[in-house]
Amino acid sequence: MLSLINEILNISDFNYVLISLIISIATYVVGYVFMAIAIWVMAKRLNINKGRWMAFVPFLNWYLLGKVIGSAVVWGKKIDNVGLWLMLLSIAQTVITILLSIGSYLLIASILFDVSFVFSSPFLQNWVMGTGLLYEILSFVSLGVDIAFIFFEVSVIFLVFRLYAPESALLFSLLSLFLDPPLFGILLFVVRNRERKSFKQYYNVYNPYANYNNGQNGNPFQSPNQNKPQNNDVDPFPEFSSGKDNSSAKSDDSDEIFS
């Protein structure tokens, strides 16, 4: 046993990095496969036959997940396919990241292969050093794309769990965001065969005050004689409400997020 521990402790830094990289890639692949299968099953259950193969293709799987979610109201705006926006932002984020990283790759290549082609061009030199107007503009655009991507990623993850696991939507969403994609793929796979539910309907049914006062919706601190007309459109996030009437921008199941 001691010899095994010593062997583990004597692993070189290179082997440690290599093992960590292999574990990270394997974890990512497992989570991605679970997510792809879950999206494919969800699309099949909704009779989405055209383009179901997109569940297994990077970027396009977000578009298909958006079709599974359907129309949604996000911050008071109706979006027919929130996954489409997430797909476009994901592609833009990847392209920008690659472009910004080219300078680092060129610098590493010049060191490893002892070549000076990187600094033979003023443009490449500015790109490697992270200077130049074009690099600064791209960096600024990257910040905006990253913020938009996070917003739509949070929306998509929360929306899908509100439909298929409303009782655990917040918990599943937080876990998915912190451990994406492995845990998101696994959790999505767990709920793939569940029936869709409207979050508002779920809220009304399981509202702890729903059956108070002999089956009438009410407040336990309110007198039974002080009945008031009930509003069935429960806003789960009233602190984000703009106070405007969004009745013209309802989703198919009258469900909203951050409305």
Rg over alpha carbons for the chain, rounded to the nearest Å, is 25
Per-residue pLDDT band at 257 (split at 50, 70, 90): low
E strand map for 30-161: 72-74, 77-79
Beta bridge partners of 78: 73
Q: How confident is the model at residue 75 (pLDDT cuts 50, 70, 90)?
A: confident
Cα–Cα distance measured from residue 192 to residue 62, given in angstroms and rounded to the nearest whole number: 15
**Residues of the chain with pLDDT > 90: what percent?**
36
Kindly indicate the confidence band of residue 251, based on its pLDDT and cuts at 50, 70 and 90.
Answer: very low
Give the lowest-confidence range in 71-75, 94-98, 185-189: 71-75
- pLDDT tens digits, 170-201: 899 999 988 777 889 999 999 999 988 876 66
This prediction's pTM:
0.70
Burial status of residue 166 (CB atoms within 10 A of its CB: 0-12, 13-18, 19 or more): buried
Residue 218 is encoded by which pair of tokens?
Answer: 């009410």
